[in-house]
Each structure stands twice: as C-alpha cells, then as structure tokens.
Amino acid sequence: MRFKLSLVWNLGGLLYREDGMPQTIKPRHPHENKLLRMLPEKDFNRLLPHLESVDVADLKVLHQPHKPITHAYFPNDSVVSLIAITEKGSTAEVGMVSNEGLVGISGLLGPNTNPYRAIVQVPGSAWRIRLKVLKAEFRKCPAIQDIIHRYLHTLLTQIAQSAVCNRFHTIEQRLARWLLGSQDRVGKDTFHYTHDFLARMLGTDRSSVTLGVGILRRAGLISNSRGRVTILDRRGLEAVSCECFFITKAEFADSTGQA
C-alpha cells in the first residue's frame, strides 16, 4: 500500500491512505523535541491536536518577567535563553532551553508567571501549545508528570551551576561553557553572537567578553569576526571550560536516558 504525505500545521502530520482516511504518525524529525519524543504514544496523541508548529525569530521574546504565560514552547532546532534582569537593567542568562526541554515550565507548577525573560538566542522552529491545555494534561497524566519533573531537576541544576560559574570561574571558562552549551543544542559550529550579546548572556561587561574571546582565539579554539563566533577546536574548548558544563551535560543526558 502506498502513502502520500500531506503538509499540515500540527506536530505529527497526516498520512493519507489510498482509501482517503488520515493516519496520525509520531514524527521522526532529527530536531524533534526530546521531551515530546519520550512520551508514550497514547499520551503523545492526546497532545497532538493542540501542538502548533511555529518559527521563532532571533531575539524574539516568548515570555516577559512577571507577565501571564499563555503558551508553552517545545523548541526543536531553536535555542531560548532565560534571562534575569536587575532593577538597574543589567542582565545574565540563568538557563538555556532547546530540544531537550520546555519553555514555560513554571506555568505548570504554580502561578502562570515567570521572573525571567525568555528570549530566542538561536532562531528556528518550536512546537507551541496553550498553557491551559498542557496544564490539564499534566495534572491527569503520570507519564507527563514524570518527564516534566525530570526535566525540572536538570533545569534547576543548570540554574544553580550558572550561579556557581558566574561567581567563581574566569571569563574564558564561562565563555567556553556557554559556547559548548550552544553547540550541543543546535549542532552547529558558527553562531551570530556579538560581544554585546555575549556580555548580556554572561552577566558581564563588553570589555571582559573581548578579553575572553581574545584568549580563546589566540589559543586556536575559536575564531570571530563581524558578529560571528566559530568553534574550531571543541576538545580544546572543553579543556578550558569549567566543571559546570560537564555537570549540567551529565544531568541532561541522564534525564533523557542518553547517559
């Protein structure tokens, strides 16, 4: 029997058999969100009609601090930063979310607000779902609860290690950790990151980022020009990075069964 693929705006897509009846399938896209992939088929299929494919642009704000969260996002090949903002307007990234996670998790666990700004740092695609729909499934489905709780543990680990890293480690260690985390999530070597952007992510000033970039560049680990940073030597970058990168990476691997 032959099948024809029809393009639709939901996660699984529809395959139409020769008798004209649609058949829902679980996707196997290489950048598919890992939390959705971990769901049992029956639980996944309940979410399927509510998932909408969206493109998220560079620097697009998905959630604002202390504002109601209306939608949650499961990134695919996009990367979202969770940014803490001080009263004076200084910023620092406290968490990074890509296809291993979920943006808007706080809305499932209590008030539907978040103290952090969620902003896209690498554009791409994501699956969007209304928070009230996801919350209803979360409350009644043990499998979804288990997956979300496991991811929450790893996200809290990432936030804690970010605090440790910003307090105790050098700018080149922090920069190496951050670049490695970006590469792991999108599988690319080159990123459109300016020094100003990196300074906002790392919670430091532009001159410190320039110093860190210079150290890594002279060591032959990265190159940078015109707002682009390219990783040249991953092993060397790992050697420079602090233990925070490896602790966080191990926790995420364990939570997704990839340890």
Name the domain count of the chain: 2
The answer on 119 and 213 residing in a single domain is no
Domain that holds residue 183: 170-241
- Domain at 179, CATH number: 1.10.10.10
* Residue 243, φ and ψ in degrees, nearest 5: -70, -15
Residue 253 within a domain: no
Inter-residue contact 62 to 127 (CB < 8 Å): no
The CA radius of gyration of the chain, in Å to the nearest whole number, is: 19
| Domain end position, chosen among 164, 194, 210 | 164
160 close to 251: Cβ distance less than 8 angstroms: no
- 159 in the same domain as 103: yes
- Give yes or no: residues 129 and 215 share one domain: no
Measured between alpha carbons, how far is 89 from 82 in angstroms, rounded to an integer? 15
Q: Is 136 domain-assigned?
A: yes
Report the alpha-carbon distance of residue 49 to residue 116 in Å, rounded.
Answer: 29
pLDDT tens for residues 28-49? 453 489 999 999 999 999 999 9
Q: What is the pLDDT of residues 111-164, one digit of tens each?
A: 889 999 999 999 999 999 999 999 999 999 999 999 999 999 999 999 999 999
User: In this structure, are residues 203 and 171 in contact, taking their beta carbons and an 8 Å threshold?
Assistant: no
CATH number at 19 reads 2.60.120.10
CA dist 148 and 234 (Å) reads: 31
Same domain assignment for residues 90 and 212: no
Split the chain (259 residues) into runs of 10 and give each run's mean pLDDT: 34 39 41 88 94 95 96 96 95 95 93 93 95 96 95 95 94 97 93 95 96 97 94 98 96 77
